[in-house]
Structure 1
Amino acid sequence: MADSRVVVIASHNRSKSREIEALLREGLADLPVMIRLLADYPDAPPPPEENADSYVGNAVIKARACAAFTCAISFADDAGLEIDALNGMPGVHSRRFAGEETPFPAKMGILLEMLKDVPPERRTARFRCAVAIATPDGAIYTFEDTLEGRIADAPRGQAGFGYDPIFYVPSLGCTLAELPAAFKNRISHRAKVMRQAIPQLRGLLREA
């Protein structure tokens, strides 16, 4: 039976989901809804294979699978780093770049080596994030947004996760990993796309 009081984040990764959960709690604070992670369900299935060729496609795969299992409105995201000088790499394969088990410091080292002769003005890049909302009855809503920046010469900062230490935001004069979490949650690619998605989510919860 569908549970209209619950929104499930389609993820087993608690650290990655922290940003999403904080943004959802803020955007839905006045509604009587419980926010859960798929990892909160003891018998949750393993993550589905993300084999789409787009961020939106991968987000839809995860949201649909989660909604089918939980019978609740489900929310999934997919994001990646696109570096113009590398023809958009690592892109939709950002998490799997250089091997899924390779730690991000090593992945960043490989990318910086590939860019070692590229001047600052050509190190333009963006984080792209897509989210999908799936309902138990099969409806899907998708949204996408970006954060523009460039690749730093070396990792800087200890906050954030993934490629944040090498993603430099010129307007702020620092990398994403040098920002307090609360501030990053206001300006990041994920925050921008969430501002699009939350009104749709609020509408679905009111209708339920």
Structure 2
Amino acid sequence: MKNKKNLIVSSGNPHKIEEIKSILKDLPFNILSKDEVGLKDLEVVEDGETLKENALKKALEVSKKVEGIVIADDTGLFVDKLDGRPGVYSSRYAGENATYKNNNEKLLKELKDVPLEERTAKFKTVIAVVLEDKNHITITGECSGKIGFTPEGEDGFGYDPLFIVDGYNKTFAELGDDIKNKISHRADALKKLREALKNIIEDDRNENTSSK
């Protein structure tokens, strides 16, 4: 492709945007947040019953208003002992205007006196991709771990200080962005997304070549 295409992320979360830019930096796209394309005030109500429904809804709403490929994700923490809660409600587990601290405190309260071996959990991310022709695909990434007893580490956001990653014995907040961006649920999904985008780029090249 001679010219870079726009890849618009249906989010204004700076942590998320930087993570996505880091993982997709080798691809020929201008990666822009919804704020950067003039949609800062666009708020999509995440009322889906699954991560997939929410991700797709956010991507489609932005896609109606911009030119380019649009991606949106929804992420949830699924704790086995809590029958999968907080799940799709992870960002607002302690209420609509809950802070990260509020959500973490509620989670710890619900797991009070539960031993570490029973605090198993998974982070899941679903990414929805709406292409320029409005066709769409979804991609899922996962990361397994356990919920710690106290917040540990200074990096990361959300439940990162509580989520002890399998195989590392440290929380996401202790591991730092470099490692997190290689092993996290979102990283897993974004790696799969990168492969899908490479195929889209190749299809475009083949189409342009055959039309000459």
The 1-side partners of 2:44 and 2:50 are apart by: 15
Find out whether 1:108 has 2:99 as its counterpart.
no
Alpha-carbon contact 1:5-1:205 (below 8 Å) kept: no
* 1:119-161 superposed Cα distances (whole Å, 9 cap, x missing partner): 1111000101100110132100111121010000110001011
Find out whether 1:201 has 2:194 as its counterpart.
no
Alpha-carbon contact 1:4-1:73 (below 8 Å) kept: no
The aligned counterpart of 1:12 is 12
State how 1:20-99 maps to structure 2 within 5 Å.
20-26=20-26, 28=27, 31=28, 33-99=29-95
TM-score by length of 2: 0.90
Task: Give the superposition deviation at 1:63.
Answer: 1.1
Deviating more after overlay: 84-93 vs 62-71: 62-71
Find out whether 1:166 has 2:157 as its counterpart.
no
The 1-side partners of 2:91 and 2:198 are apart by: 30
* 1:29-71 superposed Cα distances (whole Å, 9 cap, x missing partner): xx3x211111102355512111111111111111111222112
State which structure, 1 or 2, has the greater radius of gyration over its C-alpha atoms.
2
Q: Name the amino acid aligned to 2:13.
A: N
Structure 1 residues 4 and 45 mapped into 2: Cα distance closer, same or farther (>3 Å)?
A: farther
* Paired residues, number: 202
The 2-side partners of 1:16 and 1:75 are apart by: 12
The aligned counterpart of 2:183 is 187
State the 4+ residue runs in structure 1 displaced beyond 4 angstroms: none
Q: Name the amino acid aligned to 2:11.
A: S
The aligned counterpart of 2:130 is 134
The 2-side partners of 1:40 and 1:47 are apart by: 15
The 1-side partners of 2:82 and 2:63 are apart by: 36
Structure 1 residues 97 and 4 mapped into 2: Cα distance closer, same or farther (>3 Å)?
A: same
Structure 1 residues 139 and 45 mapped into 2: Cα distance closer, same or farther (>3 Å)?
A: farther
The 2-side partners of 1:140 and 1:72 are apart by: 13
TM-score by length of 1: 0.91
Structure 1 residues 172 and 186 mapped into 2: Cα distance closer, same or farther (>3 Å)?
A: same
Secondary structure of 2:24's match? helix
Task: Give the superposition deviation at 1:101.
Answer: 1.5
Deviating more after overlay: 40-49 vs 167-176: 40-49
Task: Give the superposition deviation at 1:86.
Answer: 0.8
The 2-side partners of 1:53 and 1:97 are apart by: 14
Task: Give the superposition deviation at 1:4.
Answer: 6.7
User: Percent identical across equivalent pairs?
Assistant: 34
* 1:155-200 superposed Cα distances (whole Å, 9 cap, x missing partner): 0001011000000114101000001211110000011111111111
